[in-house]
Amino acid sequence: MHGRRLATTEELIAVVSPGSEDVLDRLETIASAYDLSVSAVDVGTDIGHVYEEGTATLGLTIGGDGTFFEGIKTFAPRGVPVLGINTGTLSFLARVEPEDLEAALEEALRGRAAVDNRQQVRVETDGLEATGINEIMLEHAPPENPIDRKITRLDVFANDEYVGEFEGTGLAVSTPTGSTGISLSANGPIHYPVNNHSIQLVPLHTHQLGVRPVVMAPSTELRIYTEGPATLQVDGGRVHTAVNEDEEVLITGAETPAYVVRTSYDDHFFTAITKKLGWDVRSDEGRPLRADVPRIRPSRAQPNGTSRSGVPNVDAMTAGLDRASFPTDFAIDDALEIAIEAAHSAGEPLRELHGQVESVGFKTDKANIITEADRQADRIITTAIRAEFPDHSLFSEESGHRASGTPYTWVIDPLDGTGNFAHGNPNYAISIGLVVSGTPTLGVVYVPETDELFAAVEGGTAWQNGRQIATTDRNRLPESMLLSGYDPDGSFLANFYQETRGVRRLGAAALNLCYLARGSADAVWEFDTYPWDVAAGLVIARAAGARITDGRGKPFEFDLDVDSRKELLGSNGVLHPALQSHLDAAVVDSPK
C-alpha cells in the first residue's frame, strides 16, 4: 500500500487501551479539524460494528504493543492501515508518542507518511486457525509433577522435507517484525522488518550447540509434530491452545499482510533497537562513526526525510534537462515524483476492483464497480496533487475542470480503457499529464495489472520502470506493426492490415502511445482523442523519439478543448513518410 492513499481517508477507527482516554480526546479534537469522524473501540473488541466496507479507513491503536497486536488482528484482515500511538512502556511497534499525535496524523492525512507491508504468519491445528504479526510459539506444557520431564521433542518438516528433531523447550516461528528478541536469544540474526517477506524457525533452549535458526520463504509449509503435550501461543498469548501428542501443527506465512503506517515522528527501526537493545554499531542518534561519511540525503520534496516507496530514480530521469526552460517557481523533479507516487497509489484500488469484475454477473453491479474504480483512482490522484500543488489547475475526465489561473494544469485520466476494465481485460492504465502554459510537459502512465510505469519530461528521455526506452528504426510498412485506436468504419484496419505485419487495437490511447515509445509498435493512429487521452502519452512518445502529427501530417496541436476531438498519427519518425503517403492515398481512394 502506498502512503498517498492515506490522503483519501474518510474515517478513523481507534482501538484504545484503558487509561488512554485523554489521548483519545485529543484525537477526536484533531480529527474534527479534518471533518473526520472517530469511532473508538476498547482493546480486544472487534471493529465490525463500526467499520463500513468500501470506506477509506485509517486505523489507530492507542496503547502499547499489546494494543497494537489487537489492532492488527482486527484491522489487517480488512486491509486497513494502522498507526500506533504509544501510551505503553517498552514499545517497538506503536512508536508515535502522544505529544507527536497531531503532527504525525497530519503527515498521514496529507499522504506524506509511508506504509510498511509487514509479513504475517498463520497457524492451523485441531480446533484452531489464527494469524499473528509477531510469532507462533510451540512450547512444552509444564508438567503437573515437578520431577517429570520439562523438555519436549518436536519433529519438523518443511514442504515435506524432514528438517529434524528439535529437543528443548520448544520452537518459535516468527516474522521479521517479531523475530528480534527471540532470534537474539537463540543466537540468530536481527531481521529488518520493513517490506521483508520471510519466516524464521527459531529453536528455544535447545540442548545442542549446532542447532540454529532457519530463515525460509513465507510460502514454506512447516508441519510440526510433538512427542508430548504442548502449548501453542500466537503473538504472546493473544490466541492460545493446547496441542496433544502427535497432533499436526501447520504453520506458514499468511497471504494477508499487515499495513503499518510510518511517519517521520516514529523512531526508525535501528533507532529503536539502539535505544532498547543496546545496538552498538551506531555512535549516537544516527550519526555516522566517521566524520567523512555523509548522512543519508533526505528525499527531495519531503523535507521530513521519510522515504517514498515504489518511486524510480527521479534524479536519473531528469538528468540533462535544460532547467532554464522551466519556470523558476516550479521544480519539475518534484512534480514527476508526485505524479509517479499518485499513479502507483491509484493503481492499488484499481487492481482490487478489477479482480471483482469477472465474478459479478449483473451489468448494473459491474457499472457500480467501474464507477467506484474511477472515483477512487481520481480521488487519490487529485488529492495527492492538491496536497503538494494547491495552486495548480486540475482537469480530470472523472471530476471535470477546476481552473486556478496558473500556467500549470494537471490532465488526468484515472482509468483509460474503461471497456477493457469492465470485461476483466488487463489493458487499462492511469494517465497523469502536466501541461505548462498549454504545452504537455510531463507524462506518467501506469499499467496496474502489469506494474509497468512509463514516464518522461519534455526535453528529456523516456523511461519504463527505471530503464530508458526509445522507438524502433523500421522505415518500411511491410516490416512494421501498427496500433489503432477507435476505428468507426474499419477503414484504417482495411487499408493497413495487408500492407504491414498487422494492426492491433488495445483499447487505451495512453497505452498505444507508450507502446510506440518503447518499440512494441512502429506507429499508432487514433480517429479522435480527448485531452486526457493523450496529455501524458504525448510527452512519453516524443521523449522516446516519436513523431506525432494529425491525420494530414501537420504537427499535432494539443489543447484542453473537449468539444474538438482530434485525430492523431504517431510513428517512430522514420516510418512517417510511408505511413502518411499510404494514409493519404487511402483517403483519396475511399468512396465518396
**487 plus 363 within the same structural domain:** yes
Q: Could you give the angle at the alpha carbon of 334 between the alpha carbons of 514 and 56, nearest 5°?
A: 80
pLDDT of residue 25: 95
CB neighbours (10 Å) of residue 375?
15
**43 plus 132 within the same structural domain:** no
Contact 213, 200 (CB under 8 A): yes
**182 plus 75 within the same structural domain:** no
pLDDT of residue 192: 86
pLDDT of residue 354: 84
**183 plus 73 within the same structural domain:** no
End-to-end, the C-alpha distance of the chain in Å comes to: 55
**236 plus 316 within the same structural domain:** no
Query: pTM of this prediction?
Result: 0.79
Contact 188, 171 (CB under 8 A): no
**DSSP bridge pairs for 455:** 444, 463
Q: Which residues are annotated as a binding site for Mg(2+)?
A: 397, 413, 415-416, 533
Residue 405's Cβ-side half-sphere holds a number of Cα atoms within 13 Å equal to 0
Lookup: cell for 134? 509477531
**349 plus 379 within the same structural domain:** yes
- Is the residue at 480 inside a domain? yes
**102 plus 128 within the same structural domain:** no
Helix, strand or coil, per DSSP, at residue 452? strand
**What are the two backbone dihedrals, phi and then psi, of residue 240, each rounded to the nearest 5 degrees?**
-155, 160
CB neighbours (10 Å) of residue 219?
11
Burial of 547 (0-12, 13-18, 19+ CB in 10 A): buried
Amino acid in the structure at residue 545 = G
CA distance 568 to 580: 12
H or E, element range at 412: strand 408-416
Residue identified by cell 528521455 is 461
* Number of helices followed by number of strands (H, E) in the chain: 13, 31
CA distance 23 to 16: 9
Write the CA distances from 64 to 88, 282, 526, integer angstroms: 4, 26, 58
**109 plus 129 within the same structural domain:** no
Q: Which residues are annotated as a binding site for NAD(+)?
A: 65-66, 134-135, 150
CA distance 117 to 120: 10
Last residue of a domain, one of 211, 238, 253: 253
- Is the residue at 292 inside a domain? no
Of 191, 236, 239, nearest in space to 66 by CA? 236
**DSSP bridge pairs for 433:** 411, 443
Contact 162, 224 (CB under 8 A): no
- Is the residue at 301 inside a domain? no
**522 plus 554 within the same structural domain:** yes
pLDDT of residue 491: 78
- Is the residue at 303 inside a domain? no
H or E, element range at 533: helix 531-543
Contact 67, 42 (CB under 8 A): no
CA 306 to chain centre: 16
- Is the residue at 573 inside a domain? yes
Of 258, 266, 233, 238, nearest in space to 72 by CA? 258
Which parts of 415-508 fold into alpha helices (H)? 418-422, 491-496
User: Containing domain of residue 139, as a range?
Assistant: 121-253
Q: Residue 497 belongs to a domain with what CATH number? A: 3.30.540.10
Given the residues 46, 65, 100, 528, select the one marked as catalytic: 65
pLDDT tens-digit profile, the chain (592 residues)? 788 899 889 999 999 999 999 999 999 999 999 999 999 999 989 999 999 988 899 999 999 888 998 999 999 999 999 999 999 876 667 778 999 999 999 999 988 898 989 999 999 999 899 999 999 999 888 767 666 666 788 999 999 899 999 988 889 999 998 867 777 777 788 888 888 899 999 998 877 777 888 999 999 999 999 988 899 999 888 889 999 888 999 999 999 999 999 998 887 778 777 776 777 776 555 554 444 433 333 343 333 333 333 456 788 888 878 877 777 777 888 999 999 999 999 998 899 888 776 655 555 566 777 788 888 899 999 999 998 899 999 999 988 888 888 899 999 999 999 889 988 899 999 999 999 999 999 999 999 999 999 999 999 999 999 899 999 999 998 898 898 888 877 778 877 888 888 888 899 999 999 999 999 999 998 988 999 999 999 999 999 999 999 988 899 999 988 877 888 999 999 999 888 888 776 654 544 4
**112 plus 126 within the same structural domain:** no
CA distance 24 to 18: 11
Q: Residue 187 belongs to a domain with what CATH number? A: 2.60.200.30
65 is catalytic: yes
Tell me the three-class secondary structure of 324-384, residue by residue: HHCCCCCCHHHHHHHHHHHHHHHHHHHHHHHHHHCCCCCHHHHHHHHHHHHHHHHHHHHHH
- Is the residue at 302 inside a domain? no
Contact 177, 218 (CB under 8 A): no
Q: How many domains does the chain have?
A: 3
CA distance 244 to 99: 48
Q: Could you give the angle at the alpha carbon of 409 between the alpha carbons of 404 and 411, nearest 5°?
A: 130
CA distance 487 to 494: 10
- Is the residue at 249 inside a domain? yes
**198 plus 316 within the same structural domain:** no
Q: Residue 68 belongs to a domain with what CATH number? A: 3.40.50.10330
3-state helix, strand, coil in the chain (%, to 5): 30, 30, 40
- Is the residue at 580 inside a domain? yes
DSSP-derived secondary structure for 27-41: HHHHHHHTT-EEEEE
**242 plus 364 within the same structural domain:** no
